Amino acid sequence: MFTKVEQKDLEGKGVVGQPTVPGLSVREMQESVEQIVREVAIPALNRLVEELAQPQAAQSIGAQTPAPVQDGLGTLQSVLEAVAEYARAHAAAADNPHGVTAAQAGAYTKQETEERINAKVTEIGTGDMAKDVYDPDADGSVVCADRLKTPRKLGSADFDGTAGVTLAQMGVPGHNLLDNTDFAHPVNQREAAGTVSAQGYFIDRWKLVSGTVRLTAEGLVLNGRIEQVLEHSAGADAAASASAGQASYSDATATFSLQASGETIRWAKLEQGGTATPWVKKGYGAELAECSRYFRKMRFDCQFYPGAAHSARVPVLLSPPMRSAPTASDDTRYTFNCEVQSFDFGSPEGGAIALSVKAAQATAYSARLTLSADL
């Protein structure tokens, strides 16, 4: 226990009880005035400090360790620290230390929550979207879906969720495997005109097989059959179509056929996939580049000077390359002041040609070649 300052500790000390004229020196009077402070108060205070630091100091002042806090703590500071730590741990506890129930907090229990959710799902008619319905295998994939009440448009296709839609149904154009299919603006390097009755090629990539065909600004007026032979087969499921007439395709011969009886044919199309989709114009430049792999006409110009040998060899790159080394011939209608002697091809792929010409004298010359790698 702590020691108190009592009356007996003050007796005979200080100035109390001294005569009116103490008869003391200045030094003795000063010591008498401070005697109680120095000899009673200060020692008592120091003793209190030492007693508070003792292991049982808390009990000495009547402080008891709270029940939830670890017992056996001695100093007052250790008790205070233990209480603070207990408060921090209690505040951080997530295990409902006070045992508050859902009812006390005005909330549903887990079972009540599940029951009310299930009841609401049934009420609004979304029970078919339960996972055990759309994913019974629990593998993350949907195995079934109901039909949409109002089909949605995907391109030109109506989608109601019961089946997939194809690009053709959506109206997405498939790639056209034919060349030179815009018959109102065809690539016509052979300069066909009017009504053609001779069988064989007339406009680029197309040949007349039977009957006649007439070139007009609206398209080809066909009274017979025309064909285009493909470099590679399109597959047995290829779909043939045209603006008029009867279009067909034979995969055995990789041949597209178009037959009509006087109808005007505006376009033709062959595509993979088994379903015909809308025709889209490729553009004249793209069509010309494709046709030039099979047939083209070229002009060469040169100048022979006096004193020089009157012969020349002119190499020319073919761009785009022809599909194979072509057959070449000179067009005498457009060859002037020279004689074309020979043709050489720089590569078997038809990527270059060298022309050898001879002139009788120093002069300018011009020669025109026809190169054909048609099928």
**pLDDT, tens digit (0-9, with 9 covering 90-100), for 141-151:** 666 666 777 88
Angle at 108 between CA 103 and CA 112, to 5 degrees: 120
**Structural domains in the chain plus CATH codes:** 7-52 (no CATH), 195-291 (no CATH), 295-372 (2.60.40.2080)
* Amino acid sitting at position 132: D
DSSP state of 129: G
Kindly list the distances between the CA atom of residue 297 and the CA atoms of 43, 80, 155, 322, 371, in Å, as whole numbers in the listed order: 127, 106, 43, 12, 6
Is the pLDDT at 282 greater than 80? The verdict is yes
Residue 253 or residue 105, greater confidence: 253
Cα angle: 162, vertex 164, 170; to 5 degrees: 125
pLDDT tens-digit map of 55-98: 666 666 666 666 666 655 556 667 777 777 777 777 777 776 66
- Average pLDDT (244-255) is 97
8 Å CB contact between 353 and 344: yes
Q: What's the length of the chain?
A: 375
Mean pLDDT of the chain: 80
Q: What is the DSSP string of 134-147?
A: H-TT-SS-----PP
* DSSP secondary structure of 157-189: EEE-SSS---HHHHTPPPPP--SS-BTTS---T
The pLDDT confidence band at residue 32, using thresholds 50, 70 and 90, is confident
- Please, are residues 291 and 189 in contact by the beta-carbon 8 Å criterion? yes
Reported pTM: 0.56
3-state helix, strand, coil in the chain (%, to 5): 25, 25, 50
Question: Looking at residue 293, what is its pLDDT?
Answer: 94
